Amino acid sequence: MPVISTLFQHAPSPLERLILPEFESAGLSVWIKRDDLLRMGPGLALCGNKWRKLKYNLAAAKSAGPAQLLTFGGAFSNHIAAVAGAGAAFGLKTIGVIRGEAPPGLNPTLRFARECGMHLHFVNRAAFRSKEDPAFLYRLEQTYGPFYHLPEGGTNEKAIEGAREIVTECQHQQPALQADYWCVSAGTGGTAAGMALEAKPGSKVLAFSALKGDFLKRAIAMLSAGYPTAGDWAVITDFHFGGYAKHRPALLQFLNHFYQQHGIALDPIYTGKLFFGLVDLAKQGFFPKGSTIVAIHTGGLQGIHGFNERFGDLLHYTP
State the residues that interact with ligand PLP by CB under 6 A. 48-50, 78-79, 153, 155, 185-192, 267, 270-271, 298-300
CB 171 → ligand PLP: shortest distance, Å?
20
β pairing state of 46-47 and 39-40: antiparallel
Going by their DSSP bridges, the two strands 29-33 and 292-296 should be labelled as parallel
Measured from the CB atom, the residue of 55 and 79 that comes closer to ligand PLP is 79
**Nearest position to ligand PLP, beta carbon:** 300
Closest distance of CB 35 from ligand PLP, Å: 9
Q: 29 - beta bridge partners?
A: 292
Least CB distance from residue 169 to ligand PLP, whole Å? Answer: 16
User: CA-to-CA distance for 152 and 97, rounded, in angstroms?
Assistant: 9
DSSP assignments along 189-207, one per residue: SHHHHHHHHHPPTT-EEEE
Instruction: Considering the complex, state which of residue 26 and residue 231 has its C-beta at the smaller distance from ligand PLP.
Output: 231
- Closer CB to ligand PLP, residue 300 or residue 319? 300
Nearer to ligand PLP, 26 or 306 (CB): 306
Provide, rounded to whole angstroms, the least separation between the CB of residue 12 and ligand PLP: 18
In the complex with ligand PLP, the residue whose CB is nearer, 28 or 193, is 193
C-alpha neighbours within 13 Å on the C-beta side of residue 157:
4
Collect all residues with Cβ–Cβ distance below 8 Å to 228 and sequence separation of at least 6. Answer: none
The minimum distance between CB 233 and ligand PLP, in angstroms, equals 12
Strand partners, 32: 16, 295
d(CA 228, CA 225): 8
